[in-house]
Structure formats: C-alpha cells, structure tokens
Structure 1
Amino acid sequence: MPTEAIEEIERKRAQLKAFEDDEFRKAGGFGRFQISANLIIIFGILSGSQVLYNLWYFQMRPLYECQNAGESKFYQCKREEFCGNQNINWRVDYTKEESLNNWVQQLDLHCIGDNELGFIGSSFFIGAFIGSIIIPRLADIYGRKKPYMFGLILYALTSLIYPFSTSLYLNYFLIFLGGISEAGRYYVGFVYLQELMPTTHQTYVGINIFMAHGFAKLCYDLYFYQITKNWVYLNYSAIVMAFTCIICMQFMPESPRYLLSSNQKEEAEKSFETIAKFNRVSRQRRVVDLLGYNMHDQKQRLLGDDEKDKDVLLQQEKKIGDVKKVESVKKLFQETSYLVNLLIMIFSWSTASFGFYLIPYFLSSINTQLQSNSYNVFELAIASSISEIFANIFCYFITTIFPNKKSLIFSYLLAFFGSAGFWIAKDTVLRSSNILYYVLFSKFGVTVAFNVTYVIMGELFPTLLKATAFGICNVIARFITILSPIIALLEQPYPMLIFSLSCLIAGLFGILLKPLYH
C-alpha cells in the first residue's frame, strides 16, 4: 500500500475530527439538545436497572415459620426443615423486614436448589455476553440509534411479561433477552450518547452514567427497606420509563459522527440541523460541500482525474484498515510486553467484573443468616451502594494524583483486605457488626478497580492495538461474570474467599504491568 495513500487517509481522519468538533460548535456546542439527550438516553439505560440490576433482590429467600402437625404454634425455621416434609406446615414470615414479596413467592422457588436459583442472575450475564459480541458490531453497520432502540424495545416487551409469569424457565428466557437488550440499551447507548456530545463534554458522559447507576441502586435499596416489600412496582416503573424513552427517541437524530465516518453526508447534515434547531441556533448548510471538496481533493492528488477511480480511495482505506487489524492481532501476541499486559489485564478485568457483581448476590445469599447481626441485608446493601458512589468520585481524583498502575494495585489490595474478614472470621462474621466495614471496603476497592481497568488500557497498548485488547478483555470478563451469581450461593466462606484471593493475585500481577511510557 503506497505510503502517500496511508498518510493521506490518516490526514483525512484528523481533518474529519476537527470538522466534527467545529460543526458541533456551530450547532450550539453543549446546549439544550445535549442536556435532553443525556436525560433521555440515561433514562433508557436506567429503565433496565430496575429489573435486571435488582435480580438479587427478586431471588432473595425470605424467612419462614413452621408448624408441626397437630400443633397450633408456629416457630421460626429454615426451608430445609419443610422442603420434602409434608408433616410440617409452613408460611413466609412477613413480620420480618427481610422477607420480600418477590419471585420466590410468585414462581414458587422456596424449595429449588442453589444452582437453579443462581441461574437467574447467570441468565442475564449469558445474554449480556452474547449480546456484547453481536450488537456492537451491528452498531458499526447500521448506526447507533437502531441498536439502541432495539435494546430498549426488547427490554420493554420483556418487562410487560414479568408480572404475569409463573414459570421459572420463562423468567430465565426473559432475563436472557434482557441481557441481550443490555448490549444495545447500555453498551451502544453509552457510545451513542458520547457521539452526540462535543469532544469537550464526552468524558462527562461516563461520569453521568456511573453516578446515575450508583444513585439508582441506592434508591432501590431504600425502596425495599423503607417503602414496600413488593417487587412489582419497580417493574411497572421500568415499563413506564422504557416506553417514555421509546417515544422520546423518535425525535432524536442518528449520531452525526457515525454518519460522517460512514460517508453519509446528507444524513449527517440533517442530524446537525436537528441538533442546531433544538439548541435554537442557526447554521449554514456546509457538511456536504466541505466533505465533498475534501474527498475530491484527495482523489485528485492520489488518483488523478480519472472518474473511473472515484471509489478507489475508499477501497484503499478499507484495505488499509483490514491489514492494520491483522497486523494488530499478530503484534499483540508476538510482542512480549504487549502479551504480558494482555494476560494480566484479562485476569484483572475478569476479577473486577466478577467481584463487582458478586457482592450484591452474596448479600442476597446471607439474608436469612443475619438474624443475630445488628445490620440487616438492606443496611448492608445501602452501605455497598454508598461505597460505590464514593468510589466513582474517588476514582477521578486518585487517577489524577497517582499513576493508573498504582491506583489499580491499591484498589485491589483494598478490596482484598476488606473481603479478607469474611473468610478469616468465617461464620462469626455473620454475627459481627464488622461485616459493615468488610462490605464497605470490598465494594469500594473493587469499584475503583472496575473503573481503572477501563482507563489504564490506553497506557498499556498503542492505539492500533487498544481496541483489540479492549474487546478481548471485555468478552472474557463477561463470560467469567456468568459464574458470580452461582458462586455467591456457595457456603460461607467460599464466595468471598474466591473473591479475596482473586483481588490479591490481580493486585500482585498489577506490579508486572508495563506502561508504554514510564
């Protein structure tokens, strides 16, 4: 491939980025449209969290009362005492605040095994894993808006069925579809929202989404703790939010950045006009003319005046991109420093994702064992959510003060020491008030690690390798996370022992990371 052609294409990309930023500025910069886009798209993302991020509440077992045959008095008992024993009458003890009216009652899950119960959460992660492989690619082919809408509509339809379902297997399927919808509604939605922002405000998209999720989880904890024990009202709220967003999305344009990068100049012009109109500014029509000039100018310099070659430049760009992708994958595995970084980050990313989602499912599993503790499961969940919020805020400060490598090591060691108490104290931890501090530090550390793993990738791999490395780590981590709801139901102290040792190993492995620039 001619060096001149490669340099020209790279120059074209730089020009395109500068042009995009200039068009956003002339369309009003960060204005009314961008504020509305944040509200609508994040609203759609959060609609899914009301069901899919509360599965651990929906599957949480209640406390029970039993009555022996021929006796009138009920006594507190465990499900193992009455499951399979027809001589014992039993009922859910709704006088205890830990007893929710959730899927355990609706689907009659009182006597099912731990693996069947844990598969409720795993169904979501399986769907998210498969969706993350397929849907982001579709977003590169068909644009950002359609896959986002697909995820939103799919989730809205599944939400309509949950209140009427009486089958565990139907719920498995619905949750699986919810996981697939997550890839469009959340993963593509994240990129879509970023591309609707000026470059100067794109970083804040991640902050807004992470903080919105943190506060939403806190609200869900308070919902079950102080408002109602019935899960179904959250589902109704999710339906309203999802369909409201579907209606609002009819007025949202496609990402102009995507349209420009895919050479859809007329559509990009319409997108910028929609943004400018919403921001109440006037702009001149110039996308088609300017980009047309640039393309023509490049063709004249590279190909001459032959009109038969008008598509050669685009074919060259595609061929260059394909060659770069092949060379990137080869170099990623052939260069020792890159390979070491990749293997460490696969383990680190998997540990962060696994641990982040393990903690709430673990809290759900010990709900019935906290009767002798001064803290109930809701208070521990609230502590976990508050810890996550502060961890998100803290993450932005620590990464500006310390190198990301040190921040990653620190966060994993903090998560290790926080979670170590769970397995050092074993069963006594369930009766100790120290459990609050173990939850706080565990969730704080793993949340910081979860965030830093995203940020540090740019320091470990060059630009041409970063996307490939990111994709490999992301897919493997999502696959490993499928196990977290099942591991959480193992007997104490094994769930947090696995989490704790994984954090220690990830922290020690972090020492071996080799940033590109020391």
Structure 2
Amino acid sequence: MLDYDQATSFLGEWGPFQLIIFFMLSASIIPNGFNGMSVMFLAAIPEHHCLVPESSNLSQAWRNVSIPWEMKEGVQVQSQCQRYRLETLSKYSAKGLLPGKDVNVSEIELEKCLDGWTYSQELYISTIVTEWDIVCENDWKGPLTTSLFFAGVLIGSFISGQLSDSFGRKKVLFATMAVQTGFSIVQVFSTSWEMFAILFFIVGMGQISNYVAAFILGSEILGKSARIIFSTLGTCIFFAIGYMLLPLFSYFIRDWRTLLLALTVPGLFCIPLWWIIPESPPWLISQGRLEEAEEIIRQAAKRNSVSPPAVIFKTGELEDYKNSQRKRHSFLDLVKTQNVLIITLLTICLWLIISIGYFGVSLNTPNLHGDPFLNCFLLAAIEVPSYIIAWLLLKNVARRYSMSSTLLLGGIVLLLMQLVPQDLQILSTVMVMIGKFGVTAAFSMAYVYTAELYPTVIRNMGVGVGSMSSRVGSVVSPYFVYLGAYNRILPYILMGSLTAIMGILVLLFPETRGQPLPETIDQTQSIKGLCFKRNVSPKTHVHKKENKNGPVLMSSRL
C-alpha cells in the first residue's frame, strides 16, 4: 500500500517549498473574509424617515412636524415608515394654522411613505438599502439578500468536492476564484435588487468552492506537521485577517459600489499564483498520472535543496492506492444503527446552532450601539485569540469539556446582554466580544470533534453532514438579526439560549481525546446515558494514538 507521506518524507517538513505553498494558499483565503461578511456594510440600514417633497407646499412649521414620533426601546424616535397625511397638512398650512397651537397634530391621519425616504448620510453615502429602498414593507429583502448568499455557499459546498475530485484541486481553485471575483465585479453594476441578489448567490457558490479547494490542496501537498498548522491556524487566521480588513475598507469607502469594487480587486492579485501553486500530487496519483506527480515532487526537492530518490512512487502500489480512495459506504450508514443515528442527530444540532450563533453575532454588528466599523473590527480581531485558545484546549483538555465550556461561555454571556443598560455601550460591546470568542472557539473545534466521533469508513460523510448543517444555520441566521430591528436584545436572547442548551447537550457525546479512533461502525463509541454498549471485536479494533502535535482537521467559517 502506497504511503504518500512516507514516500515524500525526504522533502522535510518546513522547507522553502512548504513555506511558499503555506503562505500562498493561506493568502488566497483572505478574500473569503472580505466577502463572507461584506453584506453588513453593503446592505447597512441608515437612519431614515419618509420623504416630504418640496412640492407639498408646507410651511416650515408643518414640515417640522410632518413625521410622527414613536417609542422604540424606551426612546422617542421619528417613525421610519409613516408620515402625517400631506394633503391634510397642506390645507392647514394654506389656512395659516399652526401645529400644536391651532391643530392637534396627533389627530391627523397617517399615511405610508408615498414619495420615498430620506436617508442619513452620517455613516454611509449609499448602500443597496438606500439605492433600492429596502425598508418598511420591503425590509424582508435585507435578510433574504444575506440568506441567498449563504444559500449559494450551501449549494457550492455540495458541488465543490465533486468538482475537485473530477477536474483537480488546482483547476477548481482558480476557476472558483474567477467566479467569485468576476461575478463580484459584475455585481458592482447591478441595476436592481433582484440582479444584485442573484449575483450574490453565485458569488457565494464560488466563495465556498474556492475555500474548500484551497483547503484540500494545502492539506494534500504539505507534510504532516505543516498540514496540521495549515488546517488550523493557517486557514482560520488568514480568514480572520480578511475579516479584520473589511471594516477598514468600509470606513474609508462609504459608497457600496466603490466598496464592493475595492473588496473585489484583491482577488485579481491571486492570478500569479497559477504559476506558483502546483496540482495536488495525491490527486494526480489517484488519476493514474504518476509521472506528473513525480515531476512536482522533484521540483519541490530542487527548491528545498534535497536529492530525491531515483524512484519516488512505485507503480506496483498505484492500484492499491487508487482503490483505497473509493467509497465503500453510503449516507444511509449515518442512520442505520441507533448509536450512529443519535450521534448524527446531535452533530446536526451542534453545527446548526453554532453556525446560527457565529453568523448571527457577526451579522448583528450594525445593531450594536457605537461605531459599527470599530465594532466589526473588534469582533473580527477576537477570532485570532479564539483560534489559539481552541488549539490549546484541543491539545490539553477533554473534547466534551472544551466544547461545552466554550459554548456555555458564549451562550450565557449573550443571555446576560439583556441585563446591560442601553447607555453602557462599552460593556455591551465587550460582552458581545466574549460571546463571539466562545462561539468561534467552539466552531473551530467542531471539525476535529466530529471527525473523531465517526469511524473511518463514514468519517468524511459525518463531517460533511455537520458542515452542511452549518450552511443551513448560516442561511437562517440573517432572520435572527432581522429581529434586532424590532428589539435590540431579542437576537441575543435566542442565540444565547440555543448556544447554552447545546453546551449542555454536548456533554452527552462520548469522549474522544486520547481514545483509539474507530475504524468500523461497530466500534463507534456509545452516547452517554444510552443503555446499550458497542460491540467491539478485539481482533479488528485498530488502536491509534493522537498525534502529539494535536488534531489535523479544523476549518474556518466559510
């Protein structure tokens, strides 16, 4: 049987070749941080109220009272969706009557914003909301825009693996980069909300496919220790770098078309990577293209200044290697036995709720008090220490307790948001950051824990189902944010409750740290509290110890 890592061990772990691949592929993930959260600023909702046209012939006194006031979270604010009937106001104005003195304004009939809206330009010169009036009776288009993007991510995650398996990691990586960048440029010239939303859906498909292809390519090209760092801190932190740059771009560029173009241009800088990043040698081997795989390894050896052996891959081992890549199980195996079925159901709930918490908190940034650009930067920056803490927890603490503690931290802190007075803006921001810290850490560990729960024969499918559930959570999350327009605290109460409950339920999962990885379905560990036990055959159970450097699989949000 061909052992790829052993066959290429002469390259070393951290030579110039590995460093270039590590940083170039990680850099290609930065645009995912731009686009994944850009909707917060592209579709931001400025302060607004009904437009009172100059042609209404109102005196200044009547114009000043033309918009009614209403209570919102204990504060008097101007109505965003209603005004006093202009025809009536014009009659009173023409007669010289004064509001409050001659006429009780509150008794005048109300009407909708028939002439459009007036938007504040204090924070944004323009957004898609101000351009196409996505407010009041059309405010449902806002969360739908975000959901369509994540629906594209959901569809893209279905097809990205199959595409890279069929056409190669490198071709799919650059093709999806082209889709993401090209359709984003076209999106700049959108003439309607419908056009913008459809293009955003396609951009979402390209983004996740781009990320998955880069993740797989790096995991297959790099050696063991480099692969571990790339699959954890590499991809996650470079995603966070893109996320942190988003509010910086948005702060200096307040027009949505110019901002989108500025966020898209960095994707063009990835074009030269075509001549630097090679195809995945393991994929070439699986396709029978042994000579091409050997040529890539020899070029890598030359760059690392080492001498390759005369024969790197033995042709006699090729067929066995290709056979080992074939799937022998179906998705039905995830639900056939009671034990695996319960693990699958809990995994779906875990990924769904974590995703709702992560994206809900991230996308709800504009509803926080204070500067939205600073708040976004802080919530992005908190991800870096979160990833590092998650890595340390995975190396040193039991999986169940690591997941439970971070989920409970995030959930409880978000629940406590309802106790914070509205005027304590700094405390609110700090608490949201702590909540984001906990949820992000749990999200980072979910890939590792899920991979260890499932036996080898269905591990990829188990992780795939969990990942797919997270995509569904991302599609749903904008509607949690939507509730914040009516009650600032309600999204945090819902997200905090779900996250805290999941923090307790995760304790039902079996512990996997330091345990032998199950190879077959019969060897899957039992859920805590179930009365049956798994039937393990000592002859077939293969014991594996966890790598001293920690687990291999982690991933970013998108």
Match of 1:292 among 301, 315, 326: 315
Structure 1 distance, partners of 2:429, 2:280, is 44
Change (3 A) 1:71 1:246: farther
SS in structure 2 of the partner of residue 472 of structure 1: helix
Change (3 A) 1:430 1:101: farther
Name the counterpart of 1:63: 47
Deviation at 1:246, TM superposition (A): 2.3
Deviation at 1:183, TM superposition (A): 2.7
TM-score normalised by length of structure 2: 0.76
- Residue 247 of structure 2 is aligned to residue 221 of structure 1: yes
Contact 2:18 2:226 in 1 (8 A): no
Alignment of 1:59-208 (within 5 A): 59-64=43-48, 69=56, 70-72=58-60, 77-81=78-82, 84-86=112-114, 90-94=117-121, 96=122, 98-111=123-136, 113-205=138-230, 206-208=232-234
Alignment of 1:39-438 (within 5 A): 39-64=23-48, 69=56, 70-72=58-60, 77-81=78-82, 84-86=112-114, 90-94=117-121, 96=122, 98-111=123-136, 113-205=138-230, 206-225=232-251, 227-279=252-304, 283=308, 285-287=310-312, 290-294=313-317, 317=323, 321-322=326-327, 324-326=328-330, 329-330=332-333, 332-364=334-366, 366=367, 370=369, 375-423=370-418, 429=422, 432-438=425-431
Structure 2 distance, partners of 1:244, 1:277, is 26
Change (3 A) 1:337 1:479: same
Deviation at 1:169, TM superposition (A): 0.9
Structure 1 residue runs without a partner (length 5+): 1-11, 296-310
User: Over residues 75-133 of structure 1, what are the superposed CA-to-partner deviations in whole Å (9 max), with x where a residue is unaligned?
Assistant: 9845323693347x853222x3x335322234443455332110111111111111111
Contact 1:384 1:440 in 2 (8 A): yes
Name the counterpart of 1:488: 481
Name the counterpart of 2:102: none
Contact 1:420 1:500 in 2 (8 A): yes
Structure 1 distance, partners of 2:59, 2:403, is 59
Structure 1 distance, partners of 2:4, 2:386, is 36
Q: What amino acid is aligned across from residue 196 of structure 2 in structure 1?
A: N
Deviation at 1:356, TM superposition (A): 0.8
Q: Quick check: which one's helix share is greater? A: 1
Match of 1:472 among 465, 473, 482: 465
More displaced 10-residue stretch of structure 1: 261-270 or 114-123: 261-270
More displaced 10-residue stretch of structure 1: 37-46 or 262-271: 37-46
SS in structure 1 of the partner of residue 450 of structure 2: helix
Contact 1:195 1:257 in 2 (8 A): yes
Structure 2 distance, partners of 1:464, 1:430, is 55
Structure 1 distance, partners of 2:310, 2:264, is 40
- Residue 484 of structure 2 is aligned to residue 461 of structure 1: no
Name the counterpart of 1:304: none
Identity fraction in percent = 20
User: Over residues 121-155 of structure 1, what are the superposed CA-to-partner deviations in whole Å (9 max), with x where a residue is unaligned?
Assistant: 11111111111111212212222111111210111
Structure 2 distance, partners of 1:90, 1:119, is 21
Structure 2 distance, partners of 1:195, 1:145, is 12
Match of 1:35 among 19, 33, 36: 19
Structure 2 residue runs without a partner (length 5+): 68-76, 84-110, 516-524, 526-558
Deviation at 1:479, TM superposition (A): 1.8
Match of 1:19 among 7, 27, 36: 7
Deviation at 1:34, TM superposition (A): 2.8
Contact 1:253 1:274 in 2 (8 A): no
Change (3 A) 1:352 1:269: same
Q: What amino acid is aligned across from residue 119 of structure 2 in structure 1?
A: V
Change (3 A) 1:438 1:172: same
SS in structure 2 of the partner of residue 415 of structure 1: helix
Structure 2 distance, partners of 1:71, 1:279, is 80
Deviation at 1:501, TM superposition (A): 1.5
More displaced 10-residue stretch of structure 1: 263-272 or 214-223: 214-223
Contact 1:59 1:104 in 2 (8 A): yes
Over the residues paired in the alignment, what is the CA RMSD in angstroms?
A: 2.9
Match of 1:509 among 497, 505, 508: 505
User: Over residues 278-334 of structure 1, what are the superposed CA-to-partner deviations in whole Å (9 max), with x where a residue is unaligned?
Assistant: 4455545523xx412445xxxxxxxxxxxxxxx7x689x37x944x314x853x434
Contact 1:106 1:166 in 2 (8 A): no
SS in structure 1 of the partner of residue 364 of structure 2: helix
Contact 1:144 1:188 in 2 (8 A): yes
Q: What amino acid is aligned across from residue 292 of structure 1 in structure 2?
A: T
Structure 2 distance, partners of 1:233, 1:17, is 46
Deviation at 1:402, TM superposition (A): 1.3
Contact 2:31 2:266 in 1 (8 A): yes
Change (3 A) 1:376 1:384: same
Structure 1 distance, partners of 2:33, 2:321, is 41
SS in structure 2 of the partner of residue 141 of structure 1: helix
SS in structure 1 of the partner of residue 29 of structure 2: helix
Deviation at 1:472, TM superposition (A): 1.3
Structure 2 distance, partners of 1:356, 1:144, is 28
SS in structure 2 of the partner of residue 483 of structure 1: helix
SS in structure 2 of the partner of residue 155 of structure 1: helix
Contact 2:451 2:462 in 1 (8 A): no
